[in-house]
Amino acid sequence: MVLKVRQVGEQVLRQRARPLSAEEIRDRSTQELIESMRQTMHDAPGVGLAAPQVGYSLQLVVIEDQAEFIQKLPPEQAAERERSPVPFHVLINPKLTLLGSQGAEFFEGCLSLAGFTAVVPRAKQVRVEGLNENAEPVIIDAGGWYARILQHEIDHLQGVLYLDRMNSRSFCTQDNYARYWKDQSVAEVTSPGKLG
């Protein structure tokens, strides 16, 4: 079942989500929620979805970056973003650790801020420890765009939106991004002459 994606301003998006017990994870209702979140993410379409985005204040996210999304990008953009396909997976009660000091800034969108985008600084390397849909421990070491997706989705579980981290002068509609900014590098977009 495709669920309604909550939009910025709804309280559930600004709450700290609660963790799930192993019993709750294995419960049929949680398993059904995971499948509905997968369908909702595909329908949107998106590369990640957190339970608060569909009205559940739970520490649960689904992620999948499909090859077809990446193939739509010019090869140089995919390479610059260090973006490669990520198979579907579930993360529950994730703990995020930023690795190293390297960061990257790129335009980022969110299904809960439909129609908008902004440049958001993120760490380039992360480690995430949590549980999968079977309540089994998982550890993920990720870099590039996958690391960005993980940071974005885990932020949702803390009541944080990309609005809280963005370069505010880069905030724009998706239409204006496509019209004016998509073919420029982030350095060009954020240079003082462009945005300031």
Tens of pLDDT along the chain (196 residues) come to 999 999 999 999 999 999 999 999 999 999 999 999 999 999 999 999 999 999 999 999 999 999 999 999 889 889 999 999 999 999 999 999 999 999 999 999 999 999 999 999 999 999 999 999 999 999 999 999 999 999 999 999 999 999 999 999 899 999 999 998 888 877 777 776 655 4
26 belongs to a structural domain: yes
Peptide bond into 137 cis (omega under 30): no
Residue 97 belongs to domain with CATH number: 3.90.45.10
Within a 13 Å sphere around the CA of 134, how many CA atoms are in the beta-carbon half? Answer: 3
Longest dimension (CA), the chain: 55
Rounded CA-CA distance 77/79 in Å is 5
Rounded CA-CA distance 35/33 in Å is 5
142 belongs to a structural domain: yes
Q: Which residues carry out catalysis?
A: 153
116 belongs to a structural domain: yes
Q: Phi/psi at 178 (nearest 5 deg)?
A: -65, -35
How many domains does one find in the chain? 1
Token output for 126:
């992360």
1 belongs to a structural domain: no
- The reported pLDDT for the residue numbered 187 is 78
190 belongs to a structural domain: no
- The reported pLDDT for the residue numbered 196 is 47
Rounded (5°) CA angle 18-4-35: 65
Domain that holds residue 44: 11-168
Under 8 Å between Cβ of 70 and 85: yes
